[in-house]
Amino acid sequence: MRCTKLAATIFLFFTTLYSCKNEIRLQTEAETKTKTIPVFQALKTKGSITIDGLMLEDVWGSAEVGTFDYFYNTEKPDDKQKSKFRALWSEESLFFFFEFEDNFLTARETRRDGVPFLDDCAEVFLIPVPEPLDTHFCFEINLNKAANDIIYFNNYYQENHVGFKPFNPEYKVEIMYDGTINDNSDIDGGWTMELEIPIATFGFLADFEPVKAGNKWMFLAMRQERNEVEGERRVTSTIFPFENYKKDFHQPQEFGFLEFIGN
C-alpha cells in the first residue's frame, strides 16, 4: 500500500509540474491540426477471471478484438506476424489478453526492471485520465514473465525522458507458448499473455476518472517481436498508428482511448 501511495504521489506531482507546459503544447497541437483519437473498448466482466493464459471464460468471447496492424522497423518478409488484443474490467481490476503468432520465440531477459522490451514482449501503457499527460504507467512483460514496470516521464528535465523503476506493483500475469524458446532450428506456433492489474495499483489517481461504464483512459497496447537470438533487432507493432515512431513509443499524444463499457 505504501508503494502504491508513493507512486500515485510521484505521478501527480510531476503531472502537476508539467501542466502549464502541457497546456501550451496541446494548444499548439490543436491549432496546427485536428486529430481524431481512436477508441478501444474494454468490456465489464461480472464473473471472476482466472489468470492462466488460456482465455477460457465466456466473457472474453464478447470482448472487442483489436489487432496490431501498424508495424515499425520491419526488414524481412516474415517480420509482420499477427497479433490480437482484448480487454476487460471489473470493480477491482483491469484485464488484458494478448495473442501472438510467432515463428521464432525469443527471450533472454529474466530480471525485473531489465530490458524485456528487447525480447518477444507484450506492453500496455496507461494514463488514468482521458488526456495525454506527460506521465504514464508502463507494463512491459516478456516470454519469461520478466517485467519492466515503470512510471515514465516525458521531458523530465532538459528534454530528457526517464522511467521511474522503483515502481514495482503487484499484479498477476500468466503466459502460454507453443514452441521452443531461443531455438530457431524449428518453427514455433506463438504465445499468449493474460494480465490482471488491480485498479488499486494507480492509487488515488484512478479517482479522477473512475473505472466505470462510459469513462475513458488514455492507453496504448503494443508488441515487441524478436526473431533472432543474437543482437537486439526487433519489430514493433501497435494497436494505434504512430506518426513519429522514430523517437520512441512513449508519446501520449499518439495514444488512444480505452473506453470502459458495461455488459
H or E element: which one contains 20? helix 19-32
Q: What are phi and psi of 235, to 5 degrees?
A: -105, 135
- What CATH number corresponds to the domain at position 6? 2.60.40.1190
Distance separating alpha carbons of residues 207 and 47, to the nearest angstrom: 23
Number of domain units in the chain: 1
Q: Comparing C-alpha atoms, which of 257, 252, 259 is closest to residue 37?
A: 257
Q: What is the pLDDT along the chain (263 residues), one digit of tens a residue?
A: 555 555 655 555 445 444 444 443 444 344 335 779 999 999 999 999 999 999 999 999 999 999 999 999 999 988 999 999 999 999 999 999 999 999 999 999 999 999 999 999 999 999 999 999 999 999 999 999 999 999 999 989 988 899 999 999 999 999 999 999 999 999 999 999 999 999 999 999 999 999 999 999 999 999 999 999 888 899 999 999 998 776 789 999 999 999 999 98
Do residues 258 and 218 lie in contact, with contact meaning Cβ atoms separated by under 8 Å? yes
Residue 263, pLDDT score: 84
CA atoms within 13 A on the CB side of 90: 15
Q: Reduce the DSSP state of residue 75 to 3 states and report it.
A: coil
Residue 27, pLDDT score: 41
Q: Comparing C-alpha atoms, which of 185, 41, 181, 45 is closest to residue 120?
A: 181
Residue with cell 508539467: 18
In sequence order, the β-bridge partners of residue 260 are 42
Which residue range(s) make up the domain with 73?
2-261
Do residues 230 and 36 lie in contact, with contact meaning Cβ atoms separated by under 8 Å? no
Residue 254, pLDDT score: 95
Question: Taken in order 150, 261, 195, 120, is the CA torsion positive or negative?
Answer: negative
Query: From residue 141, how far is each of 6, 106, 186, 243 by CA, in Å?
Result: 23, 13, 24, 25
Do residues 237 and 71 lie in contact, with contact meaning Cβ atoms separated by under 8 Å? yes
Residue 6, pLDDT score: 55
